[in-house]
Structure 1
Amino acid sequence: MVYVFVYGTLRKGESNAYLLKNAICIAEQAWTNGEMYDTGNGYPAIKPSLTLRVYGELYLVTESELERLDQLEGYTSGSTNNLYERIEQTVYTDRGEKEAFVYVEGNASICKEEIHRGDWKEYRLLNKQKKPNHKILYFAYGSCMDDKRFKMAGVEHYFQNVIGVGLLTNYSLRFTYCSKIDGMGRADIVEEGGHVEGKVYEIPIHALEDYLYIREGVPYAYRPTFVTVELNGKKVEVLTFVVAQKAEETPPPDWYAEEILRGASGYLTEDYIARLTEHIHFLK
């Protein structure tokens, strides 16, 4: 079996994800170096880069699954006329790094519009802003569970529709962002096992760039990503934010911890709130 990093239509919820339905997902939150482009044909391509990042998922696949991926990507070993080339490079996850196969463009002419933040799913989502009534599900697990700063910013109308509590498995809540303002921690979800509870809001898509991207410091502090939560007995894909460059855990300031716990009260389970409170106290 071999590792393969996917960043476009093979990702969860995308049109070709069925090709990986039996593969082992090693990490949903993975990245590698690359420069991403829209081909204009409903799928992206990447070029090698030493500095830019491409976000996607890491899988462990069989030889037969790899053959099907080669067919999809128009790759034949030894050919000089491939649509994509299959190369091996380092892929980074919350649990470490792996050497994995990555499909990069084999013909530069297919690379049309650059996708600056390197996330195909985010890029496609933001293109839906052309539909002003489009709504999305947003998973808040930290201070955005509290409406205090929503009211201060005059955006509380975006966050009126709390449709339930989401349960995110295989992640833990950690404080891996060290604020440049006070040197203390801010919340993050890390793909390392455990579970995280949070509020799921239905929000208009323009609330992202109008407010949440600014508040979360996208793309330098946090980046948007997609996870699957259990919500009202169903599994649904939601947008959330994770720390872009994780650091060692740092205790949060008291006011920030209060926002998280105040927002959690009355929504999240008492057991989860107790464990979260204990973890905050442990860091101090």
Structure 2
Amino acid sequence: MERVFVYGTLRKNERNHHLLKDCKCMAEQAWIYGTLYDTYNNYPTMTLHENDKVYGEIYEVSKSQLNQLDLLEDYVPGRKNNLYERVFRKVYTDIGEEEVFVYICNRPELLQEEVPYGDWKLYRMLKNPHQTVSYLAYGSCMDDDRFKLAKVDHYFNKVIGVGVLQGYSMKYLYSAQDGGRADILEDGGETEGILYELPFEAISYLFKREGFYSKCYRPTFVTVKADGKLHEDVLTFHVYEKKEESAPPIHYATEILRGSKGRVSEGYFKKLQLDLKRLGVEIDI
């Protein structure tokens, strides 16, 4: 078995993902040092670059499945005019790093437009403003006080239900001056939150609040279960540079507990309280 990093049409819910439907996803939150480009052919390509990041997923594939990917990427070992080259490079995940295969550009004419932020899914979402967006809040955005203060609460009035995110734990891994902030860590755990349906206009507020442009949190897309249904490509936020877990300030912890009480499951609410207590924060809600 081999492992391969994918960043474009092979990602979950993208048009060529069917080639990986029987493959095990080893990491949804993965990245490599490189620069992503739109080829203007409805698929991206990338080059290796030490100062930029490209986001994607890692899959475990058999030899025959890898051959299918080679065919898709027009790669033949040893051929000079390949569309892509398949190389072995270091890729990073929430729980470590490993060397895997990745397909990189071998034709300069494909490098039509640099994709900002290095995420093909995000790039495509932002090019389609005439849509609603599913969004999972798992931290302070479960509480609506700051929505009201910012006069954006009308964006958040359509709640789908309690969303369950499998494979991730909620921990306080973003380090602010006054303490930790919530993050999701892809470590096999489970996180609950509030699943919203938002108008596209709400995204700019969330990007500003989450510090997207200052590289505090980055948008990412996950699968969430709510009301017995799976919701694909749900927007949520993931810390760029994770630190050691640290206690959040009282005001922030209060928002999380206030926003989740009576909404998430009783067991998960108790877990939130116990996690805060473990970090030395006790609040009576």
Distance 1:258 1:155 in 2: 20
SS in 2 for 1:259: helix
Equivalent residue letter for 1:145: M
Distance 2:14 2:182 in 1: 28
Is structure 2 residue 157 aligned with structure 1 residue 160? yes
In the alignment, which residue of structure 2 is the partner of 1:218?
A: 212
Distance 2:115 2:273 in 1: 39
SS in 2 for 1:81: coil
Equivalent residue letter for 1:189: I
Equivalent residue letter for 1:162: V
In the alignment, which residue of structure 1 is the partner of 2:195?
A: 200
Using the size of structure 2 for normalisation, the TM-score is 0.96
Distance 2:231 2:17 in 1: 16
Listed one character per residue, the Cα deviations across residues 262-281 of structure 1 (whole Å, up to 9, x for unaligned) are 00012101110001110111
In the alignment, which residue of structure 2 is the partner of 1:22?
A: 22
In the alignment, which residue of structure 2 is the partner of 1:112?
A: 112
Using the size of structure 1 for normalisation, the TM-score is 0.96
Cα distance, 1:212 vs structure 2: 0.3
Cα distance, 1:193 vs structure 2: 1.4
In the alignment, which residue of structure 1 is the partner of 2:265?
A: 269
SS in 1 for 2:11: coil
SS in 1 for 2:188: coil
Distance 2:159 2:241 in 1: 29
In the alignment, which residue of structure 1 is the partner of 2:283?
A: none
SS in 2 for 1:194: strand
Distance 1:122 1:205 in 2: 13
Listed one character per residue, the Cα deviations across residues 18-42 of structure 1 (whole Å, up to 9, x for unaligned) are 1001111100000011100101111
Equivalent residue letter for 1:227: V
Percent identical: 53
Is structure 2 residue 181 aligned with structure 1 residue 186? yes
Among 236, 240, 259, the residue aligned to 2:236: 240
Cα distance, 1:116 vs structure 2: 1.5
Equivalent residue letter for 2:210: E
In the alignment, which residue of structure 2 is the partner of 1:65?
A: 65
Among 146, 150, 156, the residue aligned to 1:149: 146
Distance 1:235 1:135 in 2: 17
SS in 1 for 2:146: helix
In the alignment, which residue of structure 2 is the partner of 1:44?
A: 44
Among 266, 273, 279, the residue aligned to 2:275: 279
Cα distance, 1:234 vs structure 2: 1.1
Cα distance, 1:159 vs structure 2: 0.4
In the alignment, which residue of structure 1 is the partner of 2:122?
A: 122
Calculate the aligned-residue CA RMSD, in Å.
0.8
Distance 1:54 1:45 in 2: 10
Runs of 4+ in structure 1 displaced over 6 angstroms? none
Distance 2:68 2:133 in 1: 33
Distance 1:218 1:88 in 2: 30
Tell me how many residue pairs correspond in the alignment: 278
Distance 1:4 1:89 in 2: 10
Cα distance, 1:282 vs structure 2: 0.2
Q: Which runs of 5+ in 1 are unaligned?
A: none
Structure number with higher strand proportion: 2
SS in 1 for 2:42: coil
SS in 2 for 1:82: coil
Is structure 2 residue 174 aligned with structure 1 residue 174? no
In the alignment, which residue of structure 2 is the partner of 1:35?
A: 35
Distance 1:279 1:58 in 2: 30
Listed one character per residue, the Cα deviations across residues 102-126 of structure 1 (whole Å, up to 9, x for unaligned) are 1010101111111120000000000
In the alignment, which residue of structure 2 is the partner of 1:86?
A: 86
Cα distance, 1:206 vs structure 2: 2.0
Q: Which runs of 5+ in 2 are unaligned?
A: 281-285
